[in-house]
Structure 1
């Protein structure tokens, strides 16, 4: 129904239109953004100009580089700067933020992995387990040899004295594809690309599951070969060390290297370690981690005074069974610290396959990455261009857009577990390296970003990325992402320049 149109009404129209336009502009400047047209807050114009100057760096503008970036206000969610924000790029380890967030959202901060010891029937007279003893893993990437010692002690305290059958290593909670088909085969010996198994051991509290540490101690003279040992000690029955190293003259360089022959547990140690030098340690992956864990349990049973008549085999636990002992892992919240601070790939893949196992089938990369994608959809992240084939970002086939990563970082700030997520991120310029600063401990030292910027970095040959949070000089929190795929000079220094700029920025006219 049309209203009055007399002179008084007509005179009010310009005023009313101006009011409406101002109101719409205010809503657009503060509302959460989708993937439509970009609307910026005019108060950020000066900061946007400074960021533009940072990205004028030749390492960013080179034709051999694809660089995407997003900067957002961490509270109002307004966009401050965009560059190639919807371009799918290989993320490297910044992808771990997706894996960590999905784990907290789907499993919960208090989630623990169980490693169980079963028998087919209750312990018999005289403490005899008739038949096989089953060691069943559920994906714990933090299981240590000492945890198996505790399981053996628990059995001994129940009066177990003998096992008449084999020790069965049960890794059936995950599928049998232990090495991701998208990973380069050249990685196979490297600690960062260990085989992923539902039953696996870590050699120490860095929790590099599926690896052993080879220690080379120099001989008393150059005529004596270095002495080699392996950690955990029980792994000595699982691997075969080939010593091609030598003791070199005092003062010479240490050049010890280790490699594992594909499909075997033959580990070759080469290079040199000088007389009177400190022992050197090298991490190397193992083949069939579940079998190594089973052999370790058998050794610990023997040390506890429990005789095992059989050997160690792989298999599955029968449905009719008796639980004899259980080890529970640290919580997921606790695991996030070594996972994100140290950028631990084995943790990412164990989490991914665990998420996949929630479907009721053995955890796999297919089901696990489908769960990661489903989590993105559930929290409202557009998935155009998204491709995940592992949980760690090690595979070069992964693709994320800067916008997708920024949206994730923005949305998790409003989750109940955000403080846990934030605390686990590496911190720029802070020691000690491993448990506070993590992989960013040596970056942005002595700047406004040191002790302030919390982010996940990523690095592969031709890939560098940084994504996280930083507070400006006025306390304003920023969400930022920078992702680069390049074939020339690395744009990584520009990541630091961006972080420092945001940390020093003070917004005026707020």
Structure 2
């Protein structure tokens, strides 16, 4: 089963990332982060454009507040609470765990903590942190139109924005739109009628599907061909996908050639026949290029700022957005925008952030690949780094983390009697593939202490999805229920 297949909150699918980015996020302020909006979040979300890209709703308090002066759990206390739970048969015979105190950085529990483990969708925490570090929270991804080699020829140049919409009915609210770009092109061309559309998606290189993806990923609706130009995350019917998503389904039919699909939609907006659309390359741009000259810019639209794209990726476990953001890390470092270039670049940035990269392997940025390896200790060190105030841009990953029994992939979890203590106290990213289950995030103890935790298992029974999830929920709930001293 692909990562992120749990149902989302039915009524707050897109409201929650914005709300939860501005709530009291477990009281990370206790460890030096201005939680309400860590760093200049208004500027980051705006991307320097001078105004908010979308109205921020009033915050709603849904999480318990931690206390920086609360007593710290002991390693012995945490072990007594967790040892009976990590050996649950539903988790299989390889369960790797790390628990740390966010304030002090002390390790409170470790079992295979430094072992690289198949992380599934928990990979997105590292993808989010590395793209925020490499690109910055306010960075926006452009989609451009330039003049082709002959009059009337328009080249649509993909910059890697996976949320680009055709019009206001797109899947991602607030996304850049091709109809806006088409109007810019018509104005720039003046009396010259567009006659042909060339699609330049050459920014990405290499295979469009990652090594290690299960055979049903491209066809099952959880992944897609990863191209530098696409609309609505390559969904073939974004309006139906929105309805299905609100009913609890993350899967959606995807188009086989996302770049050409987007090019044909753009051609229709320009009044160009869809059979006059082809793949190609933008002309070389001279230093004095004008809108009418070959290669001259005819228009540009910009994506949501990176902080919002990370919100979407994490809260909704969006695999296609994740792969696009991974390639942004590669582009920021001047590396090929491919699965290989993205993986190597994310590993390099993780090392520069001081995270333990021994055993770290990235075959993709979403976690769909079974070739990925991440250690629990890397995840808890990342959580501590994001929470200690030294890199305020990284704290924005907490804004998208689902809340137990409240939002995202945790909305329907923590309902088991032995896990209810975690409801509203746990904020975490989940990951699921067949036989692979993971969760990593933060939890507030009964005494008000903030802990980071990561539990990864990649040899669980293939037919035990629900039992494995309950077992994981009980581990985090045990930390929420005890002082562990």
TM-score range relative to shorter protein: 0.7 to 0.9
1:15-64 deviation line (CA, Å, top 9, x unaligned)? xxxxxxxxxxxxxxxxxxxxxxxxxx99442332111122243334xxx5
Is this contact kept in 2: 1:165–1:310, CA < 8 A? no
* Correspondence for 1:243: none
Is this contact kept in 1: 2:264–2:274, CA < 8 A? no
Is this contact kept in 1: 2:75–2:107, CA < 8 A? no
* Correspondence for 1:314: 279
Is this contact kept in 1: 2:222–2:319, CA < 8 A? yes
Q: How many residues align?
A: 383
Find the partner of 1:421 among 390, 397, 415.
Answer: 397
- Give the drift of 1:361: 5.2
- Give the drift of 1:143: 0.3
In 2, Cα distance between equivalents of 1:362 and 1:371: 9
1:210 maps onto 2:234 in alignment:
yes
After TM superposition, the structure 1 = structure 2 runs for residues 161-240 of structure 1, keeping only pairs within 5 Å, are 161-163=191-193, 165-202=195-232, 209-213=233-237
In 2, Cα distance between equivalents of 1:505 and 1:309: 63
In 1, Cα distance between equivalents of 2:266 and 2:258: 13
* Correspondence for 1:261: none
* Correspondence for 2:264: 295
More strand by share: 1
Higher mean C-alpha displacement, 453-462 vs 85-94: 85-94
In 1, Cα distance between equivalents of 2:324 and 2:251: 23
- TM-score, normalising length: structure 2: 0.73
1:153 maps onto 2:183 in alignment:
yes
Paired residue secondary structure (1:151): helix
In 2, Cα distance between equivalents of 1:418 and 1:115: 26
Is this contact kept in 1: 2:165–2:178, CA < 8 A? yes
Higher relative contact order (CA 8 A, sep 6+): 2
* Correspondence for 2:35: none
In 2, Cα distance between equivalents of 1:308 and 1:393: 39
In 1, Cα distance between equivalents of 2:401 and 2:106: 23
Find the partner of 1:337 among 305, 311, 316.
Answer: 311
After TM superposition, the structure 1 = structure 2 runs for residues 63-462 of structure 1, keeping only pairs within 5 Å, are 64-120=92-148, 130-146=151-167, 147-158=177-188, 160-163=190-193, 165-202=195-232, 209-213=233-237, 283-302=252-271, 311-320=276-285, 321-360=295-334, 362-414=336-388, 415-430=391-406, 437-445=407-415, 447-462=420-435
Is this contact kept in 2: 1:214–1:281, CA < 8 A? no
1:163-191 deviation line (CA, Å, top 9, x unaligned)? 45420111111115212233233322122
* Correspondence for 2:78: 47
In 2, Cα distance between equivalents of 1:154 and 1:184: 41
1:391–1:66 distance in 2 versus 1, CA, 3 Å: same
- Give the drift of 1:451: 2.2
Higher mean C-alpha displacement, 464-473 vs 449-458: 449-458
In 2, Cα distance between equivalents of 1:97 and 1:164: 43
- Give the drift of 1:160: 3.4
Structure 1 residues without counterparts, runs of 5 or longer: 1-40, 122-128, 203-208, 216-229, 233-255, 257-277, 431-436
- TM-score, normalising length: structure 1: 0.70
In 1, Cα distance between equivalents of 2:98 and 2:366: 22
Paired residue secondary structure (1:295): helix
Paired residue secondary structure (1:406): helix
1:329-384 deviation line (CA, Å, top 9, x unaligned)? 10111112221111011011101122222344541111111111101211222322
- Give the drift of 1:309: 10
Higher mean C-alpha displacement, 343-352 vs 492-501: 492-501
Is this contact kept in 1: 2:235–2:241, CA < 8 A? no
Paired residue secondary structure (1:296): helix
- Give the drift of 1:120: 4.1
Paired residue secondary structure (2:357): coil
1:179–1:58 distance in 2 versus 1, CA, 3 Å: closer
1:492 maps onto 2:466 in alignment:
no
Is this contact kept in 2: 1:54–1:498, CA < 8 A? yes
1:181–1:418 distance in 2 versus 1, CA, 3 Å: closer
In 2, Cα distance between equivalents of 1:109 and 1:95: 19
In 2, Cα distance between equivalents of 1:450 and 1:473: 12
Is this contact kept in 1: 2:435–2:460, CA < 8 A? yes
Structure 2 residues without counterparts, runs of 5 or longer: 1-71, 168-176, 286-294
In 2, Cα distance between equivalents of 1:309 and 1:53: 62
Is this contact kept in 1: 2:196–2:277, CA < 8 A? yes
Is this contact kept in 2: 1:471–1:478, CA < 8 A? yes
